[in-house]
Amino acid sequence: MVMKAFSKTILRMFKENKGRFIANFLIVFLSVAITAGFAFLVPLYEQSYLENYQGNHTADIILKDKTANGFSLDDIEKVKKDSDVEGASVFMCADYECEDPELGPQIYRFYIMDLQSKINELKLESGVLPTTPYDLSKEMEVITEVGNANLRSYDIGEKIIVGTDMLKPIQQETLTLKVVGIVNNPLYNSVQKENATVLDENHNVKEDTYIDAIIYLDRSLFPTTVDVYGTPYPVSNFLLNTDMYVTYKEKSAYFSDAYEQEMNQKKDGLISLFGEDRVAALTLEENISYSLFKNYNSKVKSLSIIFPFFFILVCALVNLITITRLIKDERPMIATYVSLGVSKAKIVWKYILFTLISTLFGSILGLALGSPILPSVVLPAYGTVFQMHPLNFKIQSPYAYIVAILVVLTALGVTIFSSTSYLKETPSALMKEKSPKPGKKIFLQRITFLWKRLPFRYKSSFRNIFRQKKNLILTSLSIIGSTLLVLIGFALFDASFALKEDALFGNVASTMGIISMVIILFAVAMAIVVIYSLANMNIADRQRELATLKVLGYHDRECSFYTFREIMIISILAVIIGIPLSTLVVAFVLQYLDFGTINDVKWYSYLGTFGIIIVTTLLVNLLLYPKIKAVNMNDSLKVID
C-alpha cells in the first residue's frame, strides 16, 4: 500500500514540476545537439572531401626534376622497383605569364601529359578529351581545370591565345588553344589561390603571384618533330618530363599522422634514390587543397573537443539548482517517506528518475537532430571553399555518444549528491522548513553614503540576493557560462573577419564565420533557457512571499518588479564579472585553435555579449509576468508548518 502511494507521488512530481522538467530537457538537448553536430561534422566532411581521392589513384608524392634533363622511362622503372609503389607517371608542368588580349597579364599553368593516365586520374566534368593531332600552326585542342573563385572558368569552344615560350623553339609568336573539355584534378579541389612559379627580369621567382588558369595538353597528340629553320627538330627535346606522380598501394588513412609519417619516409627514400641535387619531393602535406582542408578540419575538431566542457558545466550547474530546489520543496514529503519505512535508496531513485528521463530524452533528441542538422547547415559554406560531395549520414561518431553519456552521468551524479545530502537529516528536521539565515550586514550596507540613498525596494533586493549565497553563486556561474559561450561565438566571427586577407585562411574565413553564427545562436538559446529556468524556479520558491505582498496591496507589476529585479541585478553582476573571465578563456581558445588572437575581438562584440544577456533577462521577465499574475494569495499561503 505504501509503495503504491509512493509510486503515485512520483507521477505527481512530474506533473507538478513539468516546467523544471522541460527546462532540464531543453538545456541537455541544446548542449548535446551542438556538441553532436560538431562531433559528426568532422568525420562527415572528411569522408565527403575524401571522395575526391577515391578510385583515381591520387598522387601521394610528386617528384620534381631540378636539372634540365627531365625524367625518363628508366626513371619510372627505377621508382617501381619499390614493391609498395602502385604506379608512376611522368609529365611536363610549367607556369607561364602571357598577355591576354582582353584580360591583360595572365599566369597559366600548363600540363603536357597522358590525359588518360590512371595515375592521379583527371575526372572529365564536361566536354571531351582532345582527339585531333596537334598542328602547331593551327588551333590545338585542350582541356582546362574546373573554375572557381580564384581560378578562371572556361566554356566549351572558348579560345585561349598564348605565347610560345612554353614550346621553345617554336617560331610563331602565338598559339591558339581551343577548350574542348573541363576536368577536375584531384590535387585541385579548393578555391585557395595556387602559387605560381614565374621569373622576373633578373631570373628570380616573383613573389605573390598566383595561377589564373590551368590548361592540359595531350602529349600523345604532339608530332614527333617540328620544323625549326628548315630542319626537323625532336619534340621530345623541349617537352621534358619535369615531374613524376608516384602513388602507393598500402598506406594509412588520409589526414592521419601515420599517413604523414609514411609519406615522409617514402619521400626521403625517393630523394636518396635520385640524389638531393637532382630531385625535390612533395607530399600531399605540401598540396594547398589537402593541407588547407586538413588544417581547417583540425580546428573544427578542436572546437568539438573544447565546447562539451562548457556545456557539461552549464548542464551540471542548472541541474544542481533544479534538483536542489525540487528536493527542498518536497522536504515534508521526504520525511513522510522515511517515517513510513520507504528505503532511502527508493527515495533517491525517485529524483534519479526525474533527472534520467529529462536528460536521456534531451540527449537522444540532441543526437538525432544535432548530428545531421549542423553539418547540413554548414555544408554550403564549406562548398564555397572545398569541393564537397553528398554527406553519408551512416558514418558514426563515438565522441558524440561519449559526450551525451557524460552529460547524463554528470546530471545523475549531481542528483545523487543532492538527494543523499538531504536524507542525512532526521524526519523531524525535514518536516520543518529551513529557517532563513539570520540577517547580516552585506558589504553594500557598509558603504553608508550609498546605502542611505538607495530606495527601500533596492535595499530589500540586495539583501535577498546576498542572503542566499548558494543561490547567488550557482545562478551567477550559470549566467557566466552563458556569457562565455556567446563571447566565444563573437570572437570566432571577429577572428574570421580579420583573417579574410590572410593568404592561408582568406577563403575559409567565411566558413568559420558561419560556424561562429551557429555557435552564437545556440549560445543565445542556451542563455534563454538557463535564465528562464532560474527565474521560473525563483518565482516557484517565492510563492508564499509573493502572495504576502499581494495581501499587503502590491499590484501585479510591483510584485513582478520585486522578483525580477533580483534576477536582473544578478545577471548584470554576473556579466560584469563574466566578460573579463570569458576574455581569458577566449584568448586560450583562439590560441589553442591557432585561429586569430584576442586582439581581433572587436569592442562591440563585448558590448553585444553584455546586451544579449541583459535583453535575454528582460525577455524572460516578460514571458514570466503571467505567472506572477497567476499567483493566488489564498492558495499560496496554505503551507505545511
pLDDT tens-digit series, residues 98-136: 877 777 788 899 999 999 999 999 999 999 999 999 887
Which has the higher per-residue pLDDT, 59 or 172? 59
Compute the distance between CA of residue 527 and CA of residue 356 in angstroms, rounded to an integer: 22
Q: Cell 520585486 identifies what position?
A: 562
Question: Which residue, among 134, 306, 108, has the nearest Cα to 197 in the 3D structure?
Answer: 108
Q: Which residues contact 95 (CB under 8 A, 6 or more apart)?
A: 107, 108, 109, 110, 196, 197, 198, 211
Buried b (16+ CB within 10 A) or exposed e, 568-584: bbbbebbbeebbeebbe
DSSP string for residues in 527-550: HHHHHHHHHHHHHHHTHHHHHHHH
Judge contact between 579 and 487, C-beta under 8 A. Answer: yes
Helix, strand or coil for residue 109?
strand
Residue 261's pLDDT is 94
pLDDT tens digits along 175-208: 889 999 999 999 998 888 888 887 777 777 788 8
Helix, strand or coil for residue 317?
helix
Q: Cell 588551333 identifies what position?
A: 139
Q: Which residues contact 438 (CB under 8 A, 6 or more apart)?
A: none
Residue 64's pLDDT is 93
Residue 438's pLDDT is 61
User: Average per-residue pLDDT in the chain?
Assistant: 82
Q: Is the peptide bond before 169 cis (omega within 30 degrees of 0)?
A: yes
- Looking at residues 473-492, what average pLDDT do you find? 83
Residue 641's pLDDT is 46
Q: What is the DSSP secondary structure assignment for residue 256, as one 8-state letter?
A: S
Q: What is the DSSP secondary structure assignment for residue 573, as one 8-state letter?
A: H
Residue 548's pLDDT is 74
pLDDT tens digits along 411-449: 888 888 888 877 777 766 666 666 656 656 767 777 777
Which has the higher per-residue pLDDT, 238 or 622? 622
Q: Is residue 334 scored above 90 in pLDDT?
A: no
Which has the higher per-residue pLDDT, 629 or 80? 80
Compute the distance between CA of residue 12 and CA of residue 6 in angstroms, rounded to an integer: 10
Whole-model pTM: value is 0.78
Residue 28 binned pLDDT confidence (cut-offs 50, 70, 90):
confident
Q: Is residue 142 scored above 90 in pLDDT?
A: yes
Judge contact between 400 and 64, C-beta under 8 A. Answer: no
Task: Output helix, strand, coil percentages for the chain, rounded to the nearest 5.
Answer: 60, 15, 25
Q: Cell 589553442 identifies what position?
A: 592
Joined together, the cell numbers standing for residue 393 give: 549520414
Compute the distance between CA of residue 262 and CA of residue 281 in angstroms, rounded to an integer: 14
Residue 258 binned pLDDT confidence (cut-offs 50, 70, 90):
very high
